[in-house]
Amino acid sequence: MLKLGVNIDHIATLREARYRGKMTGEPDPVALARVCEKAGAHGITAHLREDRRHIIDRDIFQLRAHITTRFNLEMGNTPEIIEIALKAKPDIVCLVPEHRQEITTEGGLDAVGAEASLRTTTRRLQDAGIEVSLFVDPDLQQLDAAKRIGAEFIELHTGAYAELFRSKRERNGELERLIGAAKHAHGIGLLVNAGHGLTLENLPLIHLVPHLVELNIGHSLVSRAIEVGLATSVKEFLQRLENYPG
């Protein structure tokens, strides 16, 4: 079964647009994470950024206390956020690149260039009972570095595939990269997740990528929820994941 992880960052973005700096506000990402779970989501993802532009510290600890599925904390490899992760103890941490100027994560982590630092962080998290994933482009050198670092998972960055989806030749080239990367990662013993820019429209072709465990989807799912409701949106995305051949 291909699993769905729902990224709730954009729910928190809406709250922060009105209630930034307040102790309460709506919509409540924790309550809506529970709606996602009840609709069948297999996990909840939240990205705690250094600038706290959407998810804030309080959300992380409340998510840990209240959700009953798998909690995936996306985060940069920075001392302050690492300490929060060690206190909150999510089920898994996905280490991602982070730049303050970007609107959303724009590319994969440079696991090759930051191998020593990432290895230290990975060991600290694993010693606390937290699994580790690295968000990387479908590049074999990055996958080999992830293996050396000791991560259990990689999350393949599907952004280029999503951006080029309407150009058949370029899209198919990116799809081949994802297929090759998934095969290589599986062959060296890494578990494979994927995410970024995935929509109801471009999800069916992702079924061609083998060995996937989970897809993490946020913006498109939350956007669709404005039209049909959050529970219905989750169910629509789950339907797109059915019959994945693995």
Q: What residues are annotated to the active site?
A: 47, 74, 196
Phi then psi for residue 117, to 5 deg, are -65, -45
**HEC assignment per residue over 179-198:** HHHHHHHHHCCCEEEEECCC
H/E element, 228: helix 219-228
Rounded Cα distance between 35 and 116, Å, is 39
Reference 55, options 65, 46, 63, 64; nearest CA is 46
Q: Under a CB-based contact definition with an 8 Å cutoff, are residues 204 and 226 in contact?
A: no
Reference 159, options 212, 118, 202, 191; nearest CA is 202
Tokens in use for 221? 């799912």
Mention every residue, 6+ apart, whose C-beta is less than 8 A from residue 242.
none
Q: What is the DSSP letter of 49?
A: -
Mention every residue, 6+ apart, whose C-beta is less than 8 A from residue 110.
97, 142
Q: What is the DSSP string of 15-35?
A: HHHHHTT-S--SS-HHHHHHH
